[in-house]
Structures are given as structure tokens and as C-alpha cells.
Structure 1
Amino acid sequence: MKTGQTLPKITFQTRVRDESIEGPNPFRWEAKTTDDYFAGKRVVLFSLPGAFTPTCSTYQLPGFENGFADFAALGVDEIYCMSVNDAFVMNKWAEAQGLKNVKVIPDGSGEFTRRMGMLVRKDNLGFGLRSWRYAAIVNDGKIEAWFEEPGLCDNHGEDPYGISSPETVLDWLREDAKGQAA
């Protein structure tokens, strides 16, 4: 569906550690653009409804984190996890998950997600606007492969998970590598 599409140009508001700042919160704001994350790289981007939620924290994020070496062996430079959460939440979630490989991208206002056509209402869970679960292989800012969970709609009664799983994305990369070698 979105294969071949170029990612929207967005500026994300992130928080980065800065040792020159004293005190208990040594972080500063840093604006990062779509190009900062995606230009000149082949990456896996996966987006999910919320940090600290069960499926995201138990399966999807740990699967990408633990499988990073397999992704890298198939030509992936980075793996990014995005959610419609602010930088404070995303950084705390990354810390709580002990991330070493996957990098988080806060889409606090949901602007990137909206422009991707993946912003949905999750008022039925008290979440408000969030991302529908999906994954993509992005090569230099252009979508190479797209993995969207079925049933995209507002206030979906379930949280489908499988098509955007690390295993599915890795299987696609393996098949693609075989095709490239042939």
C-alpha cells in the first residue's frame, strides 16, 4: 500500500543527554528531522500504540531489540521504534526496556503518524490519538516494504499484532536478500 512512498518531512522534538548540564536531569531539547533519522540509511521503522503497553513491551520492542544482529546482517543500519508519545515517555520506556540497539522516536504531536495515514483514535482505551501498529523497511527515506496490521480504524476493539512483528519483517528481508543474490 505505501511501498514506494517517501516519508513525510517532520521535525521531532527529542531529549538528549548533555553532560554539561548539571543536576538530576542532564537532558536538553534537540530538534531532529526525518532526514536526520532516515537519509542515506536502510532502516526498520516500527510504530505502535503506546510506550509501556503490554504487546509493545513484551513482544514487539524486545523482538526487534534482541534480533538486531540478524537485521544488521541483512543490510539494516538502524531500527527505530516510534509512538505518539512525548520524548520524556519514550526515553523512560527505552531505559526501562534496557535498549542498546533500537532507538526511539517520539512523535508527541502525532504529526508524522497523521501524515502517514496511521493516526487513529483510541478513546475506548483512554489513549486519545495514537498510531496504528505497523512496520516498514525504509531505504534513504523511501518505503521499501510495508507491514500494516489489519483492521485500521478508530477505537478498534482489539490490538492486532503479527504482520508488523520482528519475525515477519525479518522473513521479508531474508526473501529479499535471496532475490538480490539470484
Structure 2
Amino acid sequence: MNIGYRLPEVTFHTRVRDESIEGPNPFRWEDKTTADYFKGKRVVLFSLPGAFTPTCSTYQLPGFENGFGDFAAEGIDEIYCMSVNDSFVMNKWAIDQDLENVKVIPDGSGEFTRRVGMLVRKDNLGFGLRSWRYACVVNDGVIEAWFEEPGLSDNHGEDPYGVSSPETVLNWLKEDSAEKAA
């Protein structure tokens, strides 16, 4: 993905809590667009192969969640976690992970992921189409920095993790802030 690239306009089908709905599932459908998430904000977006998977749940998501204050200190307004999972799965994972800072974006059909060139086959794991692991800093819908794990390919035998880690992204933000201040 190229620095300076504008994110594709996609509609995400989300489920949002609605207190006017009675019963055990007080949620309604709400379509949100790329602009709804990214317009006028500087954000970190990270994407991963799947909710509830080991690396995602143990390292990447908790690292961004727990480090939110450090990211905010570097001018980040929001941190978004995206996966090629539907809204039901993403919302349940957010609850399971006790998220307060990171917001989840369901890319259930993989349209956004496909359009940024990160959609890969993970049939070797029984996953089907999923996102390759990456992170980026996005300013008003435009990519400022891109952190892609090495080896982008279908049915990769491993799940590389490091380049898109919270620590790597935060270090880049700190260096960028220092360069702008100099």
C-alpha cells in the first residue's frame, strides 16, 4: 500500500446497541462508511486474520487497547481493529476482550480488505478469505504510514507478527513527532 493513498470508499454493515430495543439482543443494523470512520481524524487502523485467534487476541489487540493513552499522546484520535469477520463476531470479540479504547470494524465481505490489496486465502487453516496482518496510520482518510507483515501470500504456512505490532507503530509515531518538532 502506498503512502498518500486514499482509503477506498466502502460501506460496512455494523450492529450497534439500541436501548429502545427490548430483549436479550438490543442491537440494530447500521451502515457506516469509510468516511464515517476516517474523515477528519488521525487514526491507527490494524487488521488481522480473525477475531478470537491466538496472536490477535493475546498480543496485537491487547497491545493497542492498553497503549491507547500513548497513541493519543502522539495525536491519534481513534484506534480501529478490522477483520474479515461479520459484525456479530466482531462485537462479541470486543466484549470478550473488554475493549474500552479500540473500536472494531467488521469487514464481513472482505470488500475493504480486497480493495487495499490485503485479502488472502487461508484455506489451509479452514478460514477461507481473510486479511493479511497489517497496520497503518491514516490521516483524514489518507495513509500516512504502512506496516505490513512480510510474506503476503495465499495459504501462508505461518502467521508473521511484529511489523504491525503496537510497539512498532508507536515508535514510528514518536519518531514522526520528533521530526516535525525539529
Q: Provide the residue aligned with 1:120 in structure 2.
A: 120
Equivalence for 2:88: 88
Alpha-carbon distance, 1:62 to partner: 0.0
Q: Does 1:107 align with 2:107?
A: yes
Is 1:59 the counterpart of 2:63? The answer is no
Q: In structure 2, how many angstroms separate the alpha carbons of the residues matched to 1:4 and 1:120?
A: 23
Distance 1:112 1:140 in 2: 17
Paired position in structure 2 for 1:170: 170
What is the CA-CA distance between 1:2 and the residue it aligns to?
1.8
Once the two structures are TM-superposed, the CA of residue 41 in structure 1 deviates from its matched residue by 0.1
- Give runs of aligned pairs for residues 12-31 of structure 1, distance below 5 A: 12-31=12-31
Match of 1:136 in 2: 136
Provide the C-alpha distance between the structure 2 equivalents of 1:24 and 1:15, rounded to a whole number of angstroms: 14
SS at structure 1 position matched to 2:64: helix
Give unpaired runs (5+ residues) of structure 1.
Answer: none
Distance 1:143 1:2 in 2: 7
Q: Alignment partner of 1:25: what SS?
A: coil
In 1, the alpha carbon distance for the partners of 2:4 and 2:139 equals 10
What is the distance in 2 between the residues matched to 1:47 and 1:93?
Answer: 14
Aligned-pair CA distance for 1:125 = 0.1
Matches within 5 A, 1:71-86: 71-86=71-86
CA separation in 1, counterparts of 2:171 and 2:86? 31
**SS of structure 2 residue aligned to 1:162:** coil
Report SS of the residue matched to 1:23: coil
TM-score normalised by L of structure 1: 1.00
Residue 34 of structure 1 deviates from its aligned partner by 0.1
Deviation at 1:151, TM superposition (A): 0.2
Unaligned stretches of 5+ residues in structure 2: none
Residue type matched to 1:93 in 2? Answer: W
**Corresponding residue of 2:2:** 2
| Partners of 1:108 and 1:40 in 2: CA distance | 25
